[in-house]
């Protein structure tokens, strides 16, 4: 019986690229570029539902995304991420915010923006639609 195994990227390697290399390469433009990169990724990896968006976050290694509150024009999501909590305060979550904004924009056919609030225990994403 043949087993198919997914290759896992070590967390440390992911953190090196995501939190250090990209930050150095993008410099003061890191937040803007990552937000638009997240939107671009969402256009390439379209999800058909909020459940699929949450599954994508898990598969991408971004963490566990859950809907906390959902209304017609505003939603709040909580992200329990997989990085070490000691480095969370320094980490930029604009890639995830842009991805989430674009996915919801496509699902709801309304311009959507996403803001993130990073605490020591989780990341809160608030999306607002026109």
Classify residue 52: in a domain, yes or no. yes
Mean pLDDT of 70-96: 79
pLDDT score at 82: 58
Domain assignment of residue 107, yes or no = yes
Domain-located, residue 4: no
42 inside domain:
yes
Contact 50, 56 (CB under 8 A): no
How many domains does the chain fold into?
Answer: 1
Which residue has better confidence, 74 or 84?
A: 74
Instruction: Compute the distance between CA of residue 82 and CA of residue 95 in angstroms, rounded to an integer.
Output: 15
Using alpha carbons, list the distances in angstroms from residue 74 to 1, 29, 40, 88, 125. 48, 27, 22, 25, 10
Residue 114 neighbours by CB under 8 Å, 6+ apart? 97, 98, 100, 101, 104, 125, 126, 127, 128
- Residue 124 inside a domain? The answer is yes
Which pLDDT belongs to residue 85?
47
Residue 53's domain is classified under what CATH number?
A: 3.30.1380.20
Given a cut of 80, is residue 62 above it in pLDDT?
Answer: yes
Q: 93-128 pLDDT, tens per residue?
A: 999 999 999 999 999 999 999 999 988 778 999 999
User: From CA 127, how far away is CA 115, in angstroms rounded?
Assistant: 6
Q: Residue 1's pLDDT is what?
A: 44
Token pair recorded at residue 118: 């990073």
Quick one: pLDDT band at residue 14, thresholds 50, 70, 90?
A: confident
Please name which of 13, 107, 128, 130 lies closest in space to residue 54, comparing C-alpha atoms: 107
Q: Which domain holds residue 16?
A: 11-129
Higher-scoring residue by pLDDT: 61, 54: 54
* Angle CA 114–130–51, to nearest 5: 55
Is 102 within a domain? yes
The answer to whether residue 3 sits within a structural domain is no
- What is the pLDDT of the chain when averaged over all its residues? 87
Q: 37 vs 4, 62, 125, CA distance in Å?
A: 30, 15, 17
Give the pLDDT confidence score for residue 10 in this predicted structure.
Answer: 73
104, part of any domain: yes
């Amino acid at each position: 019986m043949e087993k198919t195994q997914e290759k896992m990227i070590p967390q440390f390697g992911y953190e090196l690229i995501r939190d250090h290399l990209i930050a150095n390469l993008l410099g003061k433009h890191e937040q803007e570029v990552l937000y638009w990169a997240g939107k671009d990724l969402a256009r390439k990896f379209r999800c058909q539902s909020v459940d699929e968006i949450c599954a994508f976050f898990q598969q991408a290694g971004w963490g566990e995304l859950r809907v906390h509150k959902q209304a017609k024009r505003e939603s709040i999501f909580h992200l329990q991420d997989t990085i070490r909590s000691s480095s969370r305060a320094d980490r930029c979550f604009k890639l995830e915010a842009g991805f989430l904004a674009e996915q919801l924009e496509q699902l709801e056919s309304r311009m959507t923006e996403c803001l993130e609030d990073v605490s020591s225990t989780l990341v809160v994403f608030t999306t607002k639609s026109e």
